[in-house]
Chain A
Amino acid sequence: MYLINGKGSMSNSGADGVSDQFPAGLRVLVVDDDPTCLMILEKMLRTCLYQVTKCNRAEIALMLLRENKNGFDIVLSDVHMPDMDGFKLLEHIGLEMDLPVIMMSADDSKNVVMKGVTHGACDYLIKPVRIDSLKNIWQHVVRKKKNEWRDTEQSGSAEEGDRQLRASDDADYSSSANEGRQRNSKKRRDEDEDADERGDTSALKKPRVVWSVELHQQFVAAVDQIGIDKAVPKKILELMNVAGLTRENVASHLQKYRLYLRRLSGVSQHQNNSFLSQQDATFGSISSINDLQTLAAAGQLPAQSLATLQASGLGRSTAKAGVHMPLMDQRDLFSFENARLRFGEGQQQHLNSSKSINLLHGMRTNMEPKQLANLHQSTQSIANLNIRVNASTTQSNPLLTQMTQSQPKGQMLNENICLAPRLSTSFGQPNRSGICNGPLGRNGIVTNNVASAQNSSMLSFPMNQTPEMSISSFPLGSTPGISSITTKGSFQEEVTSGIKEDGGFVPSYDIFNELHHHKSHDWEITSPGLTYVASHPANPLQDNINVSPSFLVQQGFYPTQQTGLNRDPPLMSKALFSLGEGLEQGILQNADQHLNRVVHNSVRVKVERFPDESSQSNLSPEHYGQEDLLSALLKQVCPFFLPKDPILYTLYSLSIIINQICSVFLAARRR
């Protein structure tokens, strides 16, 4: 056992160790039983201009730390040591000296790393440790000091507030309110003075109460007993009955605790982040087994791990006495009603729903109110079904579940459908510029021009894609994802049967319905995607329309390609299927695009027309007759001519639809 004091003092570090040449001169204590590693670490740290003290026994390390309370800035410790477990050392240091501790080990298994996190280590390095990793350890020191500074400031403000109002009986309650006010103003001042503070923080350390595990548990028990809403520092203090604990300590701790709870209940993401940086690091020192600890550690970890930690933290918090339960329930209500979709990402929910609401407002300006109202209803079930479908099929996809959780309006629908796993292979992020490239790319359909036209237009993408999905379920050449769909014979049948219902758009949801057997929440969700249709510029469609008639004519001569089609009453789906088959026989990919564009555009318009034409005010998938809507449309146009031949019927209906598209857009333009 040996012990060497570092000689690498390059900086003019005085007693505080945090000098002008910061981070040089950072006082590091490194503990490792392996002499090789110890020597290497010491050399590396010296090269980083740190002031290094090394020891190979944990007990010696503790002794050193206790002797010089302010003698070190940060501790590096190995996990596996013969005399004391590294985590135990970590706990001791956290409780007694509250220094940042970095764990090291050759062991990189996740559970060990997790242990480090839960025990409050501010970092975990895998051996062999590289010098680059060591260069940045000063950030942990700064972070911790910054939080301590804020914490002591808050305690100070609590004291002032308390002195002012000690006279009255209601002092506690009002003073905590007062503290809140003072704290806010203090916070502003703190942020301004941060840059100055950093240099002097160590010199200004006030003696502070360390909220150990037991202490915090006592605190929480007292709060639970009183009730979180009625908890006031005075009562808590009385219940806790801890010698040496002042009302101010309890008050500041209560504030932090309240903020933590509020954050749990799903306050906006932005607030969460600020909480993390400010509050959680201080919470981190509190306990190793408390769920606050996980959140505290999360403050040091990347944001994405927050979700898991929050979930675990939440999981634990629900185990506590009733205090947390109401908050959890609130979150449930907030979130998507289908509980199984909840993945504990409350922050995103609110973010998304607020965004989507804004979009919806944006949409309104383009639409006539009556149309919008009609669309609202019709689109609700559609959107909802789709979302549910996507949610159920994509639970493994974190991005999707994130989307599907919120009240899906606007963007959500867009992204849900875009991210439908059946179609998308590599589709990752919701492309807010309005282009869902994955499925589109695969189908070779270039509707990008459409999407990029307007911000609102992107919302229709989901709609575009869904019909494409149903259509593309037909063998359409090279699209890879489709084969997976078409291999399911039943699916194909469902597709066709689905489509036959009303010409393609709603049936896609019916497909999902049949697949996933969900018929709830029909009407809660709006799909502004449909609203897009009206505001959609006519040009792209006109391109399609120009192309399609001739194309349709071409396609008209492929009836022989139908295989295995039952001769049901004429259905658009059958025609489409045959068209699809025809396409498969070697039509140009270009033709594919046009046809799909035509079809999906027509389908889009079709949906829009429904509210106008159908007498029903509630459009429910279950109510759609097999050929009601399509034949209703056809009858409206020309009641006398209704071809029986499936192909001709399809072509005829297509042409009608296209006609409708034109008229709609022309009408819209005129307005």
Chain B
Amino acid sequence: MEVGQMQRQWVDYTKSLVFEGFLDGQFLQLQQLQDENNPDFVVEVVSLFFEDSERLLNDLTFALDQNGGVDFKKVDAHVHQLKGSSSSIGAQRVKNCCVAFRNFCEEQNTDACLRCLQQVKQEYCLAKNKLETLFRLEQQIMAAGGSIPMIELSF
């Protein structure tokens, strides 16, 4: 596959992710921050996000698994952080799940929280897969000597 084709593919894929709500404008902003000085900025940030989120999801699972009584304050704190980081990188669907999650935390509804946790995990996995695909495509483009195109949010 030649570079131009790959680039178009990359653009289309990114746009589709935005259309489907996996990513939002924040992600595109991050891409614009990337420049020659930091060519891997987006990848670095997203990797950081993956690490952080997995840690948070583990903490959440642990916190909600307490038979002795769930510490909703703690759960809420974790969810809040996940919400913050997912919104910072533009993982929109993850963020939306977190919003719903927080509401249930306020209500102290353990079952609903567990359901939300499942949902968040699912969304997170989806987002992770999509982003990894995107990065693979980017690597291919770079390897073929091309550059990552800029995307304007015009829709």
> Which residues of A are at the interface with B, using a C-beta cutoff of 8 A?
33-37, 39-40, 43-44, 47, 78, 80, 82, 105-107, 127-131
Within 8 A of A (CB), among B15-43: 26, 29-30, 33, 38, 41
Segment among B83-91, B107-115, B145-153 that sits at the interface with chain A: B83-91
List of B residues within 8 angstroms of A36 by Cβ = 45, 48-49, 52, 85, 88-89
CB of B29 within 8 A of CB of A37, answer no
What bracket does the count of chain B residues touching chain A fall in?
20 to 34
**Contact A39 B87, beta carbon cutoff 8 Å:** no
B81 is an interface residue with CB less than 8 A from chain A: yes
B44 CB-CB contact with A under 8 Å = yes
A572 to B77, CA, bound (A): 71
Q: Is the CB of A34 within 8 A of B52?
A: yes
Which among B44, B45, B88, B90 has the highest number of chain A CB atoms within 10 Å?
A: B88
Known contacts A127-B88, A128-B90, A130-B29; A107 and B45 CB within 8 A of each other: no
Q: Are the C-beta atoms of B81 and A40 separated by less than 8 Å?
A: no
B26 A128 Cβ-Cβ under 8 A: yes
Residues facing A in B43-101 (CB within 8 A) are 44-45, 48-49, 51-52, 77, 80-81, 83-85, 87-90
Q: Given the complex, which residues of B lie within 8 Å of A35, measured CB to CB? A: 48, 51-52
Known: A36-B52, A40-B30, A130-B29. A80 touches B88 (CB 8 A): no
Q: Which residues of chain A are within 8 angstroms of B26 by Cβ–Cβ distance?
A: 128, 130
In the bound complex, how far is the Cα of B30 from the Cα of A37, in angstroms? 11
* Complex CA–CA separation, A37 to B26 (angstroms): 12
When chains A and B are docked, how far (Å) is the Cα of A40 from the Cα of B31? 11
Question: Which A residue sits closest to B24, measured CB to CB?
Answer: A128
Give the tally of cross-chain contacts (CB within 8 A).
Answer: 57
Known: A36-B45, A36-B48. A80 touches B81 (CB 8 A): yes
In the complex the two chains form, is A131's CB within 8 Å of B29's CB? Answer: yes
Q: A34-B85, A36-B85, A129-B88 are in contact. Are A43 and B80 (CB under 8 A)?
A: no
The residue of chain A having its C-beta at the shortest distance from the C-beta of B34 within the complex is: A43
B88 lies within 8 A of A37 (CB): yes
Cα–Cα, bound, A275→B51 (Å):
50
A37 and B84 form a contact (CB under 8 A) = yes
Docked pose: A40 CA to B87 CA in angstroms: 11
Task: Chain B residues near A33: list those with CB within 8 A.
Answer: 81
Can you list 13 A-B pairs, Cβ within 8 angstroms, ordered by A? A33-B81, A36-B45, A36-B85, A39-B45, A40-B88, A43-B33, A47-B33, A82-B77, A106-B83, A106-B87, A107-B80, A127-B88, A130-B29
Whether A128 pairs with B88 at a CB distance below 8 angstroms is: yes
> Given A33-B81, A37-B88, A129-B88, 15 more contacts at CB 8 Å?
A35-B48, A35-B52, A36-B45, A39-B45, A39-B48, A40-B30, A40-B89, A43-B33, A78-B84, A80-B80, A105-B84, A106-B80, A107-B80, A128-B88, A130-B26
Residue of B80, B83, B84 ringed by the most chain A CB atoms within 10 A: B84
A106 touches B84 (CB 8 A): yes
A47-B33, A130-B29 given; A40·B45 CB < 8 A: yes
> What 9 pairs between A and B have smallest CB-CB spacing?
A106-B84, A36-B85, A128-B87, A36-B49, A128-B26, A128-B88, A37-B88, A106-B83, A36-B48
